Amino acid sequence: MQRPARKLKPYGIYSGGPGISCSFDPIYCNPNEPLWQQFAREYNRLAIDTLGGNPSPIQTQWLQPGDVRIPRKLARSRFTTPYYQQFLV
């Protein structure tokens, strides 16, 4: 995949500039299953804290403040729920 330099695409998926990227999007048949929720939370910590991943705020559950930073200038009040409000910078 050819990506523009980071300064040309500072936000969003694959915004890290040229290089190697990997997407991992696990799913499970029962999102309320406690073991699934535990896996997802622990995977978040591995991907973000250990591997330096950039999670998608619209696809990643159980994010914590600091896990993702959404520029306030991109937020629209109609779509900014209390959940997303915690990620605005």
- pTM for the model stands at 0.71
Residue 55: CA count within 13 A, CB half-sphere: 25
The whole-angstrom separation of Cα 31 and Cα 36 is 7
pLDDT digits 0-9 by tens, 74-84: 888 888 999 99
* Composition of the chain by helix, strand, coil, percent to 5: 30, 0, 65
Strands (E), the chain: none
Going from N- to C-terminal start, the domains of the chain cover 25-89
- pLDDT band at residue 66 under the 50/70/90 scheme: very high
pLDDT at 11 (0 to 100)? 67
* pLDDT at residue 1 greater than cutoff 70: no
